[in-house]
Amino acid sequence: MGASNVVTRFAPSPTGFLHIGGARTALFNYLFARHHGGQFQLRIEDTDRARSTEPAIAAILDGLEWLNFEWDGPVVYQFARAARHAEVAHQLLANGHAYRCYATAEELEEMRAAQRAAKQPMRYDCRWRDRPAGDAPAGAPFVIRLKAPRDGSVTIDDLVQGPVTVANAELDDMVLLRSDGTPTYMLAVVVDDHDMAVTHVIRGDDHLNNAFRQLALIHAMGWSEPAYAHIPLIHGSDGAKLSKRHGALGVDAYRDDMGLLPEAVENYLLRLGWGHGDDEFISRAQAIEWFDLSGVGRGPARFDLKKLESVNGQYMRATDDARLVTLVTPRIETALGRNTTDADLDILHRSMAELKKRAANLNDLATSALFYLRTRPIPIDDGAAKLLASAAPGVLAQARALFAGINDWTAEGLEQQARHLAESSALKLGQVAQPLRAAITGSAQSPGLFDVMALLGRDETLGRIDDVLATITA
RNA sequence: GGUCCCUUCGUCUAGCGGUCUAGGACGUCGCCCUUUCACGGCGAAAACACGGGUUCGAUUCCCGUAGGGAUCACCA
């Protein structure tokens, strides 16, 4: 690889959170740049002053940081470059590649209505394109439009979509500068990409059509064309456009609400629309080594929450216990309504290896850990209550008596005693273990019972059994 | 509607003319492991949209049809 001049950029508009599709676009840009030893830059497209917000900017930066997509250089804020954009528009005006258009919004609406009625394509009809300067109404507001070529066609060798050709007649003269003098998105992207020396424009394929108009601008300025890669959008599980219902949420929702790991989200996103043989789990380093745009699928992929959760579960199991404890502790403290103590953290560390095998996300993990940390008497859930109600009479009391006298308070020692009790009472081990589990964990499901007892310790374990015994006799 | 793009199991994908009686993963179902739940292991059902070509031979190439998607602003 070595040094290269590859420059990619992620250019979200801060009108909302960083959603999952944006995150994937960022990932592909990041991976492509790193693969080629180039630069990955971040540009905030905040030219829409009405819709751009500070919280949205913060959410985007936060999301990218969480996913660990490190960008190169300072963040470029597009609005700050408005003067430069206007300068280019005026340059185009001066050299005849652009013109003033005095059509009002109402006029244009009428024009479109007529086109719609006549089932004609809705395009600006170039009414001011060739009018002499003398026709200009004095003092009236105007926009500056690009004088785009009307004949011939343009072909883009899209790195994902392949060669795509569009006739120039299909394109109209887009607005460069609004009547208030501010630049449009079309102008701003082209100027910024050029000034930032972007070599590869990797973005959602909702921009594919825009690329042709942008190319006209690039040609008018005599600038060199970047390479384009338009990646398909992500769809919901029903094939429709991704909506909130499907998971078109901010990445913060994946982190906070769903409790997912960033590397799992990254892995899932990478595999959505891209593959490397039969590989399912791909590390960041491998992704950088293997990623290429030609491997990106051309059809939209559906978002599958089940698979994301599964991938996350795999990553959870592969994550070291200490990190999981750190990640899960705030959730546990919220559920418990108190801060964790050193003793709590100790038991979390020691139980984590077993707990993480049962959790697909941090929420599940937190929930499953609670019983270790609750103070007596612990709540007994419905499933556990049923187990206790149907337990063989006296098992709990017998087991309690047996455990009280045990010297070897280890998982092995406890299991041995439980097996003896089962045998001597002509019960299956499960008939002894399940009521005990219910009493000790308050649930019908838990990690191995004897490991749990060993971790909890003699006093706590016996106390919990006593608590239940007390309610039975009472 | 115009233009552009896409089409392998329910979903994500492997496949880049013969290796395909189409592979992997998630999900589903069954079995095993087992003190529960998981984890893990084994196995099953499940796809080349349709119709024409090209070719000795098409999942792979071309053209239609159908279906899906994107886009048609003084938003980005």
The mean predicted confidence, pLDDT, of chain A is 92
Q: What is the share, in percent, of chain A residues with pLDDT greater than 70?
A: 98
Give CA separation, A33 vs A79, A273, A297, in Å: 25, 18, 19
Give the list of residues 6+ apart from residue A250 with CB closer than 8 angstroms, or none.
Answer: A16, A17, A18, A19, A59, A63
Q: List, in sequence order, the alpha helices (H) in A48-169.
A: 54-67, 82-94, 105-117
Q: Is the pLDDT of residue A330 over 50?
A: yes
> Residue A354: exposed, middle, or buried by beta-carbon count in 10 A (0-12, 13-18, 19+)?
middle
Residue whose pair of structure tokens reads 């102008």 in the numeric block: A187
Nearest nucleotide to the CA of A12, by C1', is B76
Could you read off the pLDDT of A61-93 as tens digits, one per residue? Answer: 999 999 999 999 999 999 999 999 999 999 999
Nearest to A92 by CA among A206, A169, A212, A183: A183
Give the list of residues 6+ apart from residue A346 with CB closer than 8 angstroms, or none.
Answer: none
Q: Is the pLDDT of residue A3 over 70?
A: no
Separation between the CA of A319 and the C1’ of B48 (whole angstroms): 38
Q: Is the pLDDT of residue A57 over 90?
A: yes
- What A375-379 contacts at long range (C-beta under 8 Å, 24+ apart), as own/partner pairs, is A376/A460, A376/A463, A376/A464, A376/A467, A377/A464, A377/A467, A378/A441, A378/A442, A378/A464, A378/A467, A379/A442
| Interval A316-326 mean pLDDT | 97
Separation between the CA of A299 and the C1’ of B24 (whole angstroms): 20
| Residue A121 binned pLDDT confidence (cut-offs 50, 70, 90) | confident
In whole angstroms, what is the distance from residue A198 CA to residue A23 CA? Answer: 19
Separation between the CA of A232 and the C1’ of B73 (whole angstroms): 23
The half-sphere exposure of A224 on its side-chain side, counting CA atoms within 13 A, is: 8
Q: Is the pLDDT of residue A133 over 90?
A: no
Give the list of residues 6+ apart from residue A257 with CB closer than 8 angstroms, or none.
Answer: A249
If you count them, how many residues does chain A have? 474
Nearest nucleotide to the CA of A422, by C1', is B35
| pLDDT at residue A66, rounded to an integer | 97
Nearest to A11 by CA among A39, A36, A41, A31: A41
| Residue A1 binned pLDDT confidence (cut-offs 50, 70, 90) | very low
Could you read off the pLDDT of A336-370 as tens digits, one per residue? Answer: 999 999 999 999 999 999 999 999 999 999 999 99
> Residue A214: exposed, middle, or buried by beta-carbon count in 10 A (0-12, 13-18, 19+)?
buried
Per DSSP bridges, beta strands A143-146 and A175-177 are antiparallel
Give the residue whose CA sits closest to B37 at C1': A445
| Interval A206-217 mean pLDDT | 93
| pLDDT at residue A294, rounded to an integer | 87
Could you read off the pLDDT of A391-449 as tens digits, one per residue? Answer: 888 999 999 999 999 988 999 999 999 999 999 999 999 999 999 999 999 999 999 99
CB atoms within 10 A of CB A123: 14
| Interval A308-330 mean pLDDT | 97
Separation between the CA of A206 and the C1’ of B58 (whole angstroms): 33
Could you read off the pLDDT of A6-54 as tens digits, one per residue? Answer: 999 999 999 888 999 899 999 999 999 999 999 999 999 998 888 899 9
| pLDDT at residue A2, rounded to an integer | 45
ipTM: 0.94
**A308 touches A260 (CB < 8 A):** yes
Nearest nucleotide to the CA of A47, by C1', is B76
Instruction: Give the pair of three-digit tokens for residue A42.
Output: 């971040």
Separation between the CA of A434 and the C1’ of B36 (whole angstroms): 7
| pLDDT at residue A228, rounded to an integer | 95
| Interval A177-191 mean pLDDT | 94
Q: Which nucleotides of B are covered by protein (CB under 7 A)?
A: 1-8, 10-15, 23-27, 35-40, 68-76
**Backbone angle region of A181, left / alpha / beta, with phi > 0 → left and psi within -120 to 50 → alpha:** left
| pLDDT at residue A243, rounded to an integer | 58
| pLDDT at residue A449, rounded to an integer | 97
Separation between the CA of A443 and the C1’ of B66 (whole angstroms): 54
End-to-end CA distance of chain A: 75
Give the residue whose CA sits closest to B68 at C1': A239
Residue whose pair of structure tokens reads 């996913």 in the numeric block: A67
| Residue A107 binned pLDDT confidence (cut-offs 50, 70, 90) | confident
| pLDDT at residue A116, rounded to an integer | 81
Nearest nucleotide to the CA of A444, by C1', is B36
Nearest to A248 by CA among A22, A67, A28, A46: A22
Nearest to A191 by CA among A176, A178, A206, A204: A176
3-state secondary structure of A156: strand
CB atoms within 10 A of CB A318: 12
Q: What is the share, in percent, of chain A residues with pLDDT greater than 90?
A: 77
| pLDDT at residue A244, rounded to an integer | 57
Report which of residues A246 and A207 the model is more confident about.
A207
**A142 touches A136 (CB < 8 A):** yes
Nearest nucleotide to the CA of A448, by C1', is B35
Q: Is the dihedral of CA A412, A418, A420, A422 positive or negative?
A: negative
Residues of A belonging to the active site: 244
Q: Is the pLDDT of residue A246 over 60?
A: no
